[in-house]
Structure 1
Amino acid sequence: MNISLSAACKQTQPPMVNFPGGLINLIPRPRRKEKVVVVMGATGTGKSRLSIELAIRFDAEVINSDKIQVFKGLDIVTNKVTEEECGLVPHHLLGFVEPTADYWAHDFVHHATAAADDITERGRTPIIAGGSNSFIKALINDDLHFRSRYDCCLLWVDVAKPLLNSFVSARVDQMVDSGLVEEAREFFDPAGEYSRGIRRAIGVPELDEYFRSEGRASAAAKAKLLSRGIDQIKFNTQILASRQRQNIRRLLNILRQAEHLQCRMHKLDATEVFRKRGEEAEEAWQRLVAEPSTSLVGQFLYEDQMVFAGPLMLGPAITAPVVV
Structure 2
Amino acid sequence: MEPLVVIYGSTGTGKSDLAVELATRFNGEIINADAMQMYEGLPIITNKLTSSEKRGIPHHLLGNIPLEDEPWSVTHFKREANRIVAEIRDRGKLPIVVGGTSYYLDGLLFDERLVEEHKDAAAGILPTRDELEAQYPILSGPAEAMLAKLREVDPAMANRWHPNDIRKIRNSLEIYFSTGRRASDIYAEQRVRKGAAQARSGSKRSNSWKTLLIWLYAKPEVLNERLETRVDKMVDKGLLDETAEVYTKLQSRLAAGEDVDRTKGIWQSIGLKQFEPYLRALEETPDDHSKLDALKQAGIEDTKTANRRYAKSQVRWITMKTLTSLQEEKVLDRLFLLDSSNIQLWKEEVLEKGVELTRQLLADEQLPQAVDLSETAREVLSSKVERSNRQEVACNQTCDLCKKTFLTEDLWQTHLKSKKHRKAVEWVKRTSLMVIDQAPGKEAAQEEPRVSQGEAQAAQGEQPQGIQEAESKPKPNEPL
Which residue, out of 27, 35, 49, partners 1:67? 35
Pair 1:241 & 2:297 matched: no
Letter in 1 for 2:313: R
The CA RMSD measured in Å over matched residues stands at 2.5
| Structure 1 residue 259 displacement after superposition | 3.2
C-alpha displacement of 1:262: 8.4
Asked whether 1:164 is paired with 2:223, we answer yes
* 1:213 paired residue among 281, 294, 304: 281
Which of the two has greater strand per residue?
Answer: 1
Mark the runs of 5 or more structure 1 residues left unpaired by the alignment: 1-32, 274-280, 307-315
**Equivalent residues of 1:64, 1:94 under 8 A apart:** yes
Cα pair 2:227 2:307 within 8 Å, conserved: yes
Q: Once the 2 structures are TM-superposed, how far is the Cα of residue 256 of structure 1 from its aligned partner?
A: 2.6
Counterpart position of 2:7: 39
Contact 2:44-2:237 at 8 Å conserved across structures: yes
Cα distance in 2 between the residues matched to 1:62 and 1:219: 45
Give the aligned partner of residue 51 of structure 1: 19
Q: Matches of 2:363 and 2:279 in 1, distance apart?
A: 54
Instruction: Tell me, in whole angstroms, the C-alpha distance in 1 between the residues paired with 2:331 and 2:86.
Output: 18
Say whether 1:227 aligns with 2:227.
Answer: no
SS of alignment partner, residue 157 of structure 1? strand
Contact 2:4–2:95 at 8 Å: present in 1 too?
Answer: yes
Superposed, 1:55-134 pairs within 5 Å as 55-102=23-70, 103-134=72-103
1:292 to 353, 359, 371: 353
| Identity %, equivalent residues | 32
Relative distance call for 1:238 and 1:196 in structure 2 (3 A) is same
- TM-score scaled to structure 2, two decimals? 0.53
Deviations 1:166-224 (A, max 9, x none): 10111011001000100111111335853232121101111111111124221111111
1:5 maps to none
Query: SS at the partner of 2:12?
Result: coil
- 2:239 counterpart (180, 197, 204): 180
Aligned to 2:373: 318
Shift in CA distance, 159/261, structure 1 to aligned 2, threshold 3 Å: closer
Deviations along 1:28-80, whole A, 9 cap, x unmatched? xxxxx111001111000000100100110111011000011111121111100
1:250, CA displacement in angstroms?
Answer: 2.0
Cα 1:115–1:265 shift into 2, 3 Å: same
Separation in 2 of the partners of 1:48 and 1:130? 8
Q: How many residues were matched structurally? A: 271
Runs of 4+ off more than 3 Å: 190-193, 259-263, 319-323
C-alpha distance 167-156 of structure 1, shift in aligned 2 (>3 A): same
* Contact 1:151 1:262 (C-alpha < 8 Å) held by counterparts: no
Query: Equivalent residue for 2:416?
Result: none
Contact 1:168/1:237 (8 A) holds in 2: yes
Q: Which residue of 1 aligns with 2:116?
A: none
Q: Tell me, in whole angstroms, the C-alpha distance in 2 between the residues paired with 1:259 and 1:231.
A: 41
- Supply the distance in 1 between the matched residues of 2:101 and 2:24 (Cα, whole angstroms): 23
Distance apart, 1:252 and its partner CA: 3.5
Q: Secondary structure at the match of 2:47?
A: coil
- Is 1:301 aligned to residue 362 of structure 2? yes
Unaligned runs of 5+ in 2: 114-204, 255-259, 385-480
Larger RCO: Structure 1 or Structure 2 (Cα < 8 Å, ≥ 6 residues apart)? Answer: 1
Per the alignment, do residues 221 and 179 of structure 1 end up closer, same or farther by CA in structure 2, a change over 3 Å counting? same
CA distance in 2, matches of 1:107, 1:125: 22
SS at match of 1:69: helix
Which one has a bigger Cα radius of gyration? 2
Q: CA deviation at 1:143?
A: 6.7
